Structure 1
């Protein structure tokens, strides 16, 4: 399967999810900016995929990343970030969202499992009410896009 075919708009994603559910497949959802892909990202994506049959990744749009991370971010465009994510074996589908949180996307997907980083308290996890189960992932220490940018900028 070509990576580009895994990048879906909300309407396409809704149909994709319906088809997967009819097949009895367990859908996992996670989200993030995934600006500069690193080992921490790969770890959370592989962990997420291990929790079900299919992994949907909600990807913050460029505008959303700027609002959350500041005017110098993202480093890579949403199209490039989506393509890199979609090329990973663990990722089944990628959908870009413009809001600051993936609330509406999680509501659309209604995942069997919602995965979020361990830096979030369960009560802070957006969209948890739409998931059958919420799982937190212990982040890899020292792995972050911000740290990579700081290293490169020195």
Structure 2
């Protein structure tokens, strides 16, 4: 079996996402959703993604597109393009699907996924999370994962710039 093909198959467009969701829901799988830029994958990302996966049977990761990251972070971001970031996320065994979204928030994608559980890092407040109220209104849950201190893509980039 071609392992790279298996990984690439976890990077989904809207039609594949809808097919997978239908299959998972038929077998009563609990769907978990989280999202982010994941510019430089670090220990904090891995910890939060693994934690998110533990809330259900299937983890879908919404990934900000390159244009969205530029708008949210800075003109010189992302460091890695969306194809590279998606591939790295899809390689994690506990990530079931990666879906790139163009908007600044994953609100539309959250409506499409309609997750049983939405997960974000503990540095967020539920009332500030895009789509959280909608998930709650649909009968889902919103969970916060403990934030791993001193881990951020920006921090790593700054260390590299300083030559550390």
TM category, shorter: over 0.9
Q: In structure 2, which of residues 108, 116, 119 is the aligned counterpart of residue 115 of structure 1?
A: 119
Q: What is the distance in 2 between the residues matched to 1:57 and 1:150?
A: 26
Q: In structure 2, which of residues 149, 155, 158 is the aligned counterpart of residue 141 of structure 1?
A: 149
- SS in structure 2 opposite 1:6? coil
User: Residues 49-64 of structure 1: matches in 2 within 5 Å?
Assistant: 49-64=53-68
Structure-1-length-normalised TM-score: 0.97
CA shift for structure 1 position 130: 2.5
Q: What is the distance in 2 between the residues matched to 1:117 and 1:149?
A: 20
The answer on 1:130 being equivalent to 2:135 is: yes
Q: Which structure has the bigger radius of gyration?
A: 2
Aligned length in residues:
154
* Structure 2: gaps spanning 5 or more residues: none
After TM superposition, where is structure 1 displaced by more than 2 Å over at least 4 residues in a row?
none
- What root-mean-square deviation, in Å, do the aligned CA atoms of Structure 1 and Structure 2 show? 0.9
CA shift for structure 1 position 81: 0.3
Moved more, 59-68 or 13-22: 13-22
* Structure 1: gaps spanning 5 or more residues: none
2:117, 2:142 within 8 Å by CA — same for their partners in 1? yes
Q: What is the distance in 2 between the residues matched to 1:70 and 1:10?
A: 27
2:135, 2:142 within 8 Å by CA — same for their partners in 1? no
Q: What is the distance in 2 between the residues matched to 1:66 and 1:21?
A: 35
Q: What do residues 34-71 of structure 1 show as CA deviations (whole Å, max 9, x unaligned)? A: 00000000000100000100100000000000000011
2:30, 2:58 within 8 Å by CA — same for their partners in 1? yes
- SS in structure 2 opposite 1:96? strand
